[in-house]
Structure 1
Amino acid sequence: MLLGELSSTLIPEMVTIPAGVLLQKDDRKRERWTAQVQSFDTSKYLVTQALYASVLDERPSQFTGDDLPVDSVSWFDAVRFCNGLSERYGLKPYYLEHGDGLVDRCAISDGYRLLTDAEWEYACRAGSQGPRYGALEDIGWFAENSAGTPQAVGCKEPNEFGLYDMLGNVWEWCWDLYDPAVYGEYRVFKGGGWADDERGCLVTNRRRSHPTFRVEDLGFRVARSIK
């Protein structure tokens, strides 16, 4: 898809990710575990500013451009977007938002949602076993090649699943709580961004912040469950 077409269609182009098993680790907590990942669909590209504005009529990003990834969005913003996109296409919203700030998942929903931590890493790896799915200069925008700004989505090489910008450009919110016992409501985000050095753009990197947190190198992509 050409970038001009990406802006004009205003609908995520989805890729089906096959089921599989993922070995994960968290160096901070010194933990390792195995995750079973069911097949799901995820967007080929990060959510762009044009798509975000078409759903929520908002342009929160610090950098301006229809084909740039949306940035400066909170986890709650990403949830609102997923539900708004679902409603646009007549799908049952995935998230149940409560007035007290709690968000539940709807088990029977066919709508758009965020990726889980395990889904994101599994989709990013695309069968690879190293710290990245390719040479970072070829696959991602980071501090050494970004010129200090996010870049239009889809301009670097995709991974083996056909997904773009999984490493670099902007970090991506995931569904998961990071460590409720220590960090309470903090949610996971992954992938590295345009301001990070090479060490920040690793498949296994996992950062966290409060779901209201917004910063200029943090966005997201969407997923849908396969029933």
Structure 2
Amino acid sequence: MLKKFSFCLIACLLLMCFNVKATPIEKIWVQGGTMQYKEKPVSVNSFEISKYEITNAQYAFFLNGIEVGANGIFKEIQLINVASNDLQLEFTNGKWQPKKGFENHPMVMVNYYGALQFCKWTGSNLPSEMEWIYAANGGIKNKNFKYSGANTLKKVGWFKGNSDSRSHKVGEKKPNALGIYDMSGNAWEWCRNDELKTADDFCVHMGGSWFAGEQPSQILAHYGNKPKHFSNSVGFRVIFAATTLTSDVNFFKNYKGKPYNDQVQQIPGKVQCEWYDLGGEGIAYHDSDNSNSGSGNLNPANGTFLNEFRINEAVDISYTKSRDIDNSPYNVVEPVMDELYAGWMIPGEWINYTVNVNTSGTYTVGLMFTASGDGAISLLLDGKELATDIVVPSTRHNKETVAWRQWHHWNRIDNLASFKLEKGTHVLTLKTVYNGNMNYDYLDFKLKE
């Protein structure tokens, strides 16, 4: 009993800690279109882009989430320059945190590989050079400005002429026509190189910086360096691929999904994560591939209900097992055996559930889960955010001797977030935001008295 209490206390402390430090990535929708580049038309697909350059606070949260130590190395790759006094992060008591006053400054002293690892953790990517230029120009609202948002740089960016030789908080200058800040000045921004093969290849960074003059801050100025390059004036921002959930404004108004087995899940109560709606990819869910990693794969097709549950759908489904798998001594909360769950979650994936809210009021939501590293989820109701970037603390245990069992330590947190719900039938969306590597058994909605 004491062991369980201690684990629960640690989990709750972790949750409180990371909720304070988690900073959501605000996104701007960029409608696709065609632009002229070097006198030729270039087509760009729709995407979302971070409203601001990635900040020190966001990057520190990521480093802690993947458990990067004081050396700044992850999987034998140096992500940040820990030897530089210009790094605006510090490693204290086993955790990364921004230096005081630099929380919302753009993350610098991060190389191309460090930017890519952040993208992997958040389900995003670096913009290509064409995507970056298109967004900086304002997309379909392009007014052919020299800089992103104006023809006068001091209105929209920090550069050598006005920066006082230092970076500044993101978002202090005027945004461009799409509402995106600092695409000219403050920090150079790494762009994606889809043909990168070696550490000696060239990677573009765009937009100029607080250290550079006016010419490098022009939208079409072309600079870059090797992917291992560190600088106190080079950072990055990220983009997210368009899905029906983000690109179709009438998605929920014309929702085509149907409740699984014709049974609408009820709130208050438990929403079973494997009972997501019928409708397939782009309607009931978005999955990173077309294969069910659990049913029919990890759990071979043998005619049994548990091994073949929703076998032909892409959401990855498994179930809790004994035999020293899910009945682990490192569980914080013991799971029920032979309980189905949704797993193998990747950032950017989402699942929809038709639910009926029986009573209007303020609810708390809990989650039964495993997490092989600190991560986060978001919840939406009819497309509107109920709670975003809800931190899901790691259930890893340093005494675990089998690597794959780190995905099978179960915990339940009964109050991840609270929000108001209106009575009626709705579509609830569970979206994986950070890290992934999580398994979801159920969401538990309780009405506050």
Q: Give the TM interval when normalised to the shorter protein.
A: 0.7 to 0.9
Greater share of helix residues, 1 or 2? 1
Residue deviations 1:95-141 (CA, integer Å, cap 9, x gap): xxxxxxxxxxxxxxxx2111110110010011121322312111000
* Residue pairs, 1:46-195, within 5 angstroms: 46-57=53-64, 60=81, 62-63=87-88, 64=99, 65-85=102-122, 111-126=123-138, 127-132=142-147, 133-134=149-150, 135-176=152-193, 185-195=201-211
Q: Alpha-carbon deviation of 1:39?
A: 0.7
Task: Give the distance between the partners of 1:10 and 1:166, measured in 2 at CA.
Answer: 20
Segments of 5+ residues of structure 2 without an aligned counterpart are 1-19, 65-71, 73-79, 89-98, 244-449
Greater share of strand residues, 1 or 2? 2
- The 8 Å contact of residues 216 and 222 in structure 2, kept in 1 or not, is answered as no
* Aligned positions, number: 188
- The 8 Å contact of residues 167 and 201 in structure 1, kept in 2 or not, is answered as yes
Q: Alpha-carbon deviation of 1:54?
A: 0.2
- The 8 Å contact of residues 48 and 70 in structure 1, kept in 2 or not, is answered as yes
Q: 2:35 aligns with which of 2, 15, 22?
A: 22
- Give the TM-score normalised by structure 2: 0.40
* Alpha-carbon RMSD: 2.2
Q: Which has the greater radius of gyration?
A: 2
Task: Give the distance between the partners of 1:203 and 1:179, measured in 2 at CA.
Answer: 23
- The 8 Å contact of residues 22 and 61 in structure 2, kept in 1 or not, is answered as no
Task: Give the distance between the partners of 2:193 and 2:207, measured in 1 at CA.
Answer: 15
The answer on 1:226 being equivalent to 2:242 is: yes
Aligned partner of 1:122: which letter? Y
Q: Which moved more, 1:152-161 or 1:204-213?
A: 204-213
Task: Give the distance between the partners of 2:113 and 2:201, measured in 1 at CA.
Answer: 12
- The 8 Å contact of residues 70 and 219 in structure 1, kept in 2 or not, is answered as yes
- Give the TM-score normalised by structure 1: 0.77
Percent identity between the aligned chains? 30
Task: Give the distance between the partners of 2:157 and 2:50, measured in 1 at CA.
Answer: 17
Residue deviations 1:148-172 (CA, integer Å, cap 9, x gap): 0000000001001000001000000
Q: Which moved more, 1:119-128 or 1:171-180?
A: 171-180
Q: Alpha-carbon deviation of 1:8?
A: 5.2
Aligned partner of 1:55: which letter? F
State the secondary structure of the residue aligned to 2:114: helix
Task: Give the distance between the partners of 1:117 and 1:67, measured in 2 at CA.
Answer: 25
Q: Alpha-carbon deviation of 1:184?
A: 6.4
- The 8 Å contact of residues 14 and 43 in structure 1, kept in 2 or not, is answered as yes
Q: Which moved more, 1:114-123 or 1:129-138?
A: 129-138
Segments of 5+ residues of structure 1 without an aligned counterpart are 1-6, 26-31, 86-110
Task: Give the distance between the partners of 2:214 and 2:194, measured in 1 at CA.
Answer: 25
Task: Give the distance between the partners of 2:145 and 2:188, measured in 1 at CA.
Answer: 19
Task: Give the distance between the partners of 2:160 and 2:231, measured in 1 at CA.
Answer: 16
State the secondary structure of the residue aligned to 1:208: strand
The answer on 1:11 being equivalent to 2:24 is: yes
Q: Alpha-carbon deviation of 1:72?
A: 1.1
Task: Give the distance between the partners of 2:115 and 2:233, measured in 1 at CA.
Answer: 14
Which of 1 and 2 has higher RCO (CA within 8 Å, sep 6+)?
A: 1
